[in-house]
Amino acid sequence: MDILLQQIINGLVLGSVYALVALGYTMVYGIINLINFAHGEVLMVGALTSWTVITLLTDVALPGWLKLLISLVAAVVVCAVLNFLIEKIAYRPLRNAPRLAPLITAMGMSLLLQTLAMIIWKPNYKPYPILLPSEPFNIGGAVINTTQILILVATAVTLAGLMWLVNRTKLGRAMRATAENPRVAALMGVKPDMVISATFVIGAALAALAGVMYAANYGSVQHTMGFLPGLKAFTAAVFGGIGNLAGAVVGGVLLGLIEALGAGYIGTLTGGVLGSNYQDIFAFIVLILVLTVRPQGLLGERIADRA
């Protein structure tokens, strides 16, 4: 029982990170129908930026949580600027190009950011300092530490904020209108370019938050760390129905749970034939199964012809 609870906690923590990143994918996809392959790299830049800031602050006498907060703010700012520039340089000129063209620039951007990060930060793994009290709390036989609690809380708060932004504010209305039909939205006085930039900035902020969380939870940062969470988060977005915000969250959390439970139980289920080293493919197997049965994703709308 305690193993089950423990894996559920781990899955929720992992799922929160996926959900935050998946939101960035799904918002961008909802508005300009583009898989932003560079999104995972934004997460990586966020994590590495926060690592740099924390390293710079090593000798400053500040409480750990404050350092983490400062580094988070720095990461959010850097990522927001970065994603804004990515959109402006690599995607905006290709708005009316064949559909594969921006996809290739997105892959190019991803590779470029990874390489630049490797040049700037060197390729070694860097330990991410522990800034929050690490004594675990005991809940019914399972343990959870402060970082993990904070991840869950921060995710919940961020999601609530995002829902409010999208459903209640003027910007959110403009975003939904642009996603529905950019041309008509433009006729109604919405500036699509501005809305798209805002979407990228918001997505980047979420990714930066996710990156800092991921680093704080796993305790190390490196230039390739964005790849797998990025891929899984995209899977989560598709799983939940791409373009759908609630879907991204549901998909992310479910994916996290499936991975954690799968990794925890696959060994016993298969009598030790398959081990937890297969963890990374659960996401894809689930995805394939779901899409075969329900091609539009869990919460996605049926779109007849979106090639």
Partner 1 sequence: MMKNKLLIFLAAAVLLLVLPSVAQYAGNFWVRIIDFALLYVLLALGLNIVVGYAGLLDLGYIAFYAVGAYMFGLLASPHLSETFPAIRALFPGGLHTPLWVVIPLGAAIAGMFGVLLGAPTLKLRGDYLAIVTLGFGEIIRVFLNNLDAPVNITNGPKGLLQIDSLKLPFVGFDFGKNGELFGLPVSSVTKYYFLFLAVVVVSVVICYRLERSRIGRAWMAIREDETAAKAMGINTRNMKLLAFGMGATFGGVSGVLFSTFQNFISPESFALQESVMVVAMVVLGGIGHIPGVILGALLLAALPEVLRWVSGELDLQMLTGGRLDAAILRQLLIALAMIAIMLARPRGLWPSPEHGKAAPTPAT
Query: What long-range pairs does 128-137 form, CB within 8 A, spacing at least 24?
Result: 128/47, 128/51, 128/54, 128/215, 128/216, 128/218, 128/219, 128/220, 128/221, 129/54, 129/55, 129/58, 130/64, 130/219, 131/54, 131/64, 131/65, 131/67, 131/68, 131/216, 132/64, 132/65, 132/68, 132/216
Compare residues 175 and 212 and give the one whose CB is closer to partner 1: 175
Q: How far is the CB of 139 from partner 1 (least distance, A)?
A: 33
Of 56, 81, 93, 167, the residue at the interface with partner 1 (CB under 8 A) is 93
Examine residue 118 and tell whether it contacts partner 1 (CB under 8 A).
yes
**Alpha-carbon distance 228 to 209, whole Å?**
16
Of the candidates 249, 261, 221, the one whose C-alpha atom is nearest the C-alpha of residue 52 is 221
DSSP letter for 92, please: G
**Alpha-carbon distance 217 to 132, whole Å?**
10
Examine residue 285 and tell whether it contacts partner 1 (CB under 8 A).
yes
State the sign of the Cα–Cα–Cα–Cα dihedral 99, 105, 108, 113.
negative
Residues 156-195, interacting with partner 1 (CB under 8 A): 181-183
Q: How far is the CB of 94 from partner 1 (least distance, A)?
A: 6
Examine residue 108 and tell whether it contacts partner 1 (CB under 8 A).
yes
- Beta strand pairing status for 142-144 and 137-139? antiparallel
Compare residues 66 and 184 and give the one whose CB is closer to partner 1: 184
Residues 60-79, interacting with partner 1 (CB under 8 A): none
Examine residue 298 and tell whether it contacts partner 1 (CB under 8 A).
no
Q: How many of the chain's residues bind partner 1 (CB under 8 A)?
A: 54
Q: How far is the CB of 287 from partner 1 (least distance, A)?
A: 6
Residue ranges in contact with partner 1 by CB under 8 A:
29, 33, 35, 89-90, 93-94, 96-105, 107-109, 111-112, 114-116, 118-119, 122, 181-183, 231, 234-235, 238, 242, 272-273, 275, 277-278, 280-281, 283-285, 287-288, 291-292, 295, 305-307
